[in-house]
Structure 1
Amino acid sequence: MGLTIDVSQADPGPVRVAIAGDVDLATVPELSAALTAAVSGRPQAIVVDLGGVTFLDSSGIAALITGYQLAEEHGVGFAVTNPRERIRWVLDLAGVWPYLSGEEIEAGT
């Protein structure tokens, strides 16, 4: 399955990047370009909706982390939302869900 990326913004409001399909080595360049373009517009925040993502590999996780770091460097809020159970499990397993989702990380956990 390919990748579909829909970028939209309600004014005022965050930029919403809705992703559907497989996020893997073959499709990561599209995701990276969309996240970079979203950050370059200097919105208040970017919300990445993973509700349509059916597969996420390590290169996809790396692209999300890079998008998060780029947004942080430019003072733009960044949050990943709405992952399917399997995708959330992968992000938890990689240890990045608390950072990408914007959830508070409790001391000692």
Structure 2
Amino acid sequence: MNVTIETRGEATTVCLTVTGEIDMATVDGLARALREAISHAGVTEVVADLSAVTFCDSSGVAALDRAYAEGMRRGTVFRITHPQPPVRRVLELTGMLETLTRPAPSA
């Protein structure tokens, strides 16, 4: 798994592009990147693009859930985009898909 981080909109939005498989062997890197992005000063939104993620196990779902909760706690919107069918299905089964793909509220 690989995570690329990019800032947008005067550095208020952080976009993470995640590639590969998210599982017990790789989740720590994702969790670390998500924590850093959400805790960065001035960030109001963190978006994780999962279009190139081919697999996500329960440890990955837990990391995404923790990022969402931490974002809520800090007032930072956290959401995912473009989950592929295998990842989408796992998120549906766990009840997380709707929560994690909800668009950011309009300003």
TM-score (norm 2): 0.89
CA RMSD in angstroms comes to 1.1
| Structure 1: tracts of 5 or more residues without a match | 104-109
The answer for the alignment partner of 2:4 in structure 1 is: 6
How far is 1:10 from its partner? Answer: 1.7
Offset at residue 102 of structure 1 (A): 1.3
Give the CA deviation at 1:14: 1.4
Q: Residues 48-90 of structure 1, C-alpha deviation per residue, up to 9 Å, x if partnerless?
A: 1001101100000000000111111100011111011121111
* Equivalent residues, number: 101
Letter in 2 for 1:44: T
Percent of aligned positions with the same letter in both sequences? 35
1:6 is displaced (CA, Å) by 0.4
Q: TM-score, structure 1 length as denominator?
A: 0.88
Alignment pair present for 1:25 and 2:4: no
Q: Can you list the C-alpha shifts for 1:3-24, whole angstroms capped at 9, x where unaligned?
A: 1100101233511011000100
- Please identify runs of 4+ aligned residues in structure 1 that moved more than 2 A: none
**Equivalent residue number for residue 95 of structure 2:** 95
Structure 2 portions without partners, runs of 5+: none
